[in-house]
Amino acid sequence: MNLTTPSLLACLMLGLSYNPVFAADVANNSKAAAGSAATAIDAAKHPFLDPNQLPSWSKLTPEKLEQDALLALELSQANLDKICSVTSPDFENTISALELAVDPLETVWSRAMTLDSLSDNAEQRKVIAKLTPKVSAFFASISLNDKLWAVIKRYSQSEQAKALQGEQQRLLQLTVDSFKNNGADLPAEKKQRVAQIQARLATLSKDFQQKVKDSTNEWEYVTSDASMLEGLPEAVKAQALAEALAAKKASEKAPAWRFTQQFTSYGPVMQFAKSDELRKQMWLGRCSIGNGKYDTEKIIWEILSLRSELAKLLGYANFADFKLHDRMAGSGSKALAFIEDMHAAVRPAFLKEMTELSSYKAKKTGVVSDKLSPWELAYWSEQQRKELFDFDSEQLREYYAIDNVMQGVFGVASKLYDLRFEELPTFYKTRGDKPADAVETWHEEVKFYAVYDNKNGKLLGRFYTDWHPRQSKRGGAWMSPLDVGHNGKDGRAAKQHLAIIAGNLTKPLEGKPALLDHREVETLFHEFGHLLHVLLSDTERSSLGGTSVAWDFVELPSQILENWTWEKEAMDLYAKHYKSGELMPAALYKKMLAARNFQSANQAIRQCAVAKFDLELHIQPEKFAGRSLDEVDREVLQAYRVPLTQEQPSTMRGLNHVFAGGYSAGYYSYKWAEALDADAFGKFKQEGILNPQVGEKFRQSVLSKGNTKPAMQLFVDFMGREPDKNALLKRSGIEVPDAVSAK
């Protein structure tokens, strides 16, 4: 198992959501799962423990989950007990054994979390809720296990341990650090408190996520007034009609349109709907997430207070310092300084953009007002952009059929890293006969692929894709590494990787393929970037592979890949008209590029605002406790916003990232990694965006290395120097102020 610090935090959050990043830390080794168990597992009786890397999803029922999770807890505990009784410790029977000890539980739980995020149902939810406290208590108990720590400590001080090299040395060092940073050296009563806090936090995060999910899913706005649809793209109207029909709120004779808080509904309405009323309703819906009967505020304050207590118990001034001590940023104050510098650099451009937007609207409507309404921002921005650049972003969709985009991302990866992708047949239980050698999936829309290294023909790994929204799926887009492999260079049999990329992208409609917008193409490339980090991982130890890197580095491989969605040379591999196959015309591409940095300061400020509030809440929660969250939000972020006609509830109310994902005190990582990616992409831009030599260098320095070296070292290995944070401002077309460039 992964015993690095992020993993223990991940373990603490296991079962809360399938976060793209912390999912990385529940990577399991299902073959080892069976192998390390005392007795062979009967896969028919225990499908969640099936040693086959590809489980039979239809057999993974809630009853089996409960039974298998309890068995996995026993098996994992037995593995730990075995380490506790070691009398002559060596690397194999301590550090290596510990990495593998929890495989049975990680196997079961990562499969359960896959179903929780992709194929949710009430009964399964109940079982997961029942198991979550047990599972998180188990993980929390590891670093508080005195006997275990005594054995590990004794080994770490031995001559053999001091002579370790390479990955073995790294794994030892991270293991010891993580024990210390999780309270292993604390007196008994404090250790007990740490365990209590971790268990309570796991439950609170699960509750938070549930409230967000329920409030998102419950909300709908149905109208039979066709005039409200004016301005909406045809695909969005068709989707809303289909939604209303499916919900039995409309019929062929009496059409109606159902809008939801799913981004494929919310986003286009806010951007395109002429009707102020429709946009206002959607905005009110957004405000209801984590609010009203699903209020998450109490949970938020309790989480913050417990996190603060935990950090202090462990010897840190605050939770942000605890979380960031082994990341690139190093401390809460350094991360905050990075965000505040970024804000200072971007603010003048942001204010200018907002003034221009206000006067544009006044000019168009003839009504002068000093404040815009929150539901007007995206709409008037889109109008202004269309006029300024003569560009309708919806025109791009016809060039972004999802299968073409997938071929495009395969093409880019193949050229850069010399890979070959192959789609394999799949079957889903309700879809009739099973074709020979087909792979079972959890839904009929799921596809399955294998990827090979052309240099030696070796299978590197396999992955599922699941791209479209449905009721049983959670929101957003993510990559989860179901099973990170290892290269076998330490003498153990090599194992290939297995992962999932999933999202809520526009569905196919009316016999047309799914036609994505540009943001969705970026999302797909982004998740694919995370996927490559896993598939190209080339490490001896699974727990050091793939996305197990420092949190503020993990978005580099994903965000850098988004750059290829803006380069014509790469787009010519996939941006073809879905009917005619013609390439995107150069004129349309030019417009798209010209409009790229429109309101880039606004975008940047929004992310800085979430990052700033996240850090402030985790650096000094006691300063704000007892007050209204919305009020504190407004106070802290005053300089990050412009006044609007109506105050918005705090975005934290619905932010799974911070309260049910791995981004607590870590939201700044997006901007941080963007600074890294803008800088690193400069090298591709200079030497050729499809240049295989630069690709190979990136693969060897970053993608294949996982967490085998500190993140800064990986970056320096690729670039030959430390990061230049002004690269991001330059890419966004924002002037770099002297004060910032001098730093």
Point out which residues bind Zn ion (CB under 5 A): 555, 558
Beta pairing partners, 548: none
Contact between 683 and 718 under an 8 Å Cβ cutoff? The reply is yes
- Any residues with CB less than 8 A from the CB of 537 and at least 6 apart, and which? 484, 485, 497, 545, 546, 703, 704, 706
Helix boundaries (H) for 273-401: 276-287, 297-313, 319-324, 332-365, 377-389
Which amino acid type is present at position 568?
K
Helices 62-84 & 146-156 angle (0-180, nearest 10):
50
User: What's the rounded Cα separation, in Å, for the pair 197 and 168?
Assistant: 32
User: What's the rounded Cα separation, in Å, for the pair 248 and 617?
Assistant: 44
Sign of the dihedral through C-alpha 508, 513, 517, 518: positive
Which amino acid type is present at position 649?
P
Contact between 95 and 171 under an 8 Å Cβ cutoff? The reply is yes
Both tokens assigned to 450:
């294998």
Nearer to Zn ion, 143 or 559 (CB): 559
Exposed, middle or buried by CB within 10 Å (0-12, 13-18, 19+), for 123? exposed
- Pair type for strands 220-223 and 257-260: antiparallel
User: What's the rounded Cα separation, in Å, for the pair 263 and 284?
Assistant: 15
HEC profile for 32-55? HHHHHCCCCCCCCCCHHHCCCCCC
User: What's the rounded Cα separation, in Å, for the pair 512 and 721?
Assistant: 48
Torsion angle, CA of 640/646/650/656, rounded to 10 degrees?
-110
DSSP 158: S
User: What's the rounded Cα separation, in Å, for the pair 681 and 543?
Assistant: 28
Helix boundaries (H) for 119-185: 122-142, 146-156, 159-162, 166-181
Residue closest to Zn ion (Cβ): 558
- Catalytic entry in 106, 527, 540, 616: 527
User: What's the rounded Cα separation, in Å, for the pair 443 and 430?
Assistant: 9
Residue 721 CB neighbour total at 10 angstroms: 9
Residue with tokens 């941080």: 672
HEC profile for 490-521? CCCCCECEEEEEECCCCCCCCCCCCECCHHHH
Contact between 417 and 694 under an 8 Å Cβ cutoff? The reply is no
Is 527 noted as a catalytic residue in this protein? yes
Q: What is the largest CA-CA distance in the chain?
A: 84
Both tokens assigned to 653:
């109310």
User: What's the rounded Cα separation, in Å, for the pair 333 and 336?
Assistant: 5
Torsion angle, CA of 119/124/126/132, rounded to 10 degrees?
-80
- b/e for 293-319, b at 16 or more Cβ within 10 A? ebebbebbbebbebbbebbebbebebb
User: What's the rounded Cα separation, in Å, for the pair 60 and 118?
Assistant: 13
User: What's the rounded Cα separation, in Å, for the pair 223 and 229?
Assistant: 9
Helix boundaries (H) for 288-331: 297-313, 319-324
Active site residues: 527
